[in-house]
Amino acid sequence: MNRCGQCRQFTRMPNQVKDLCGAWQQPTLADRAACELFLAKSASKRLNNGLPPLRRIEDE
């Protein structure tokens, strides 16, 4: 399942309890389930950070 923190539109807000969703301009949490406006971050960036590639929603 995709999460907000995996989305390109997710912005980490320093010194805040919640982060920001760029699509909705609303507070969110990184571990919240992603919405229909989810845009996966670049797979190459994920691989370079030691993270597995994301699965497409259609693959589930």
Please say whether the beta carbons of 41 and 5 come within 8 A: no
What would the two tokens of residue 48 be? Answer: 């370079």
Show contacts of 45-53: CB within 8 Å, 24+ apart.
Answer: none
Q: Note the pLDDT of residue 50.
A: 59
Mean pLDDT along residues 28-46: 81
36, pLDDT greater than 80: yes
pLDDT digits over 7-16, tens only? Answer: 999 998 888 8
Element (H, E) at 49: none
Q: Which pLDDT does position 51 carry in this prediction?
A: 59
The confidence score (pLDDT) of residue 13 equals: 83
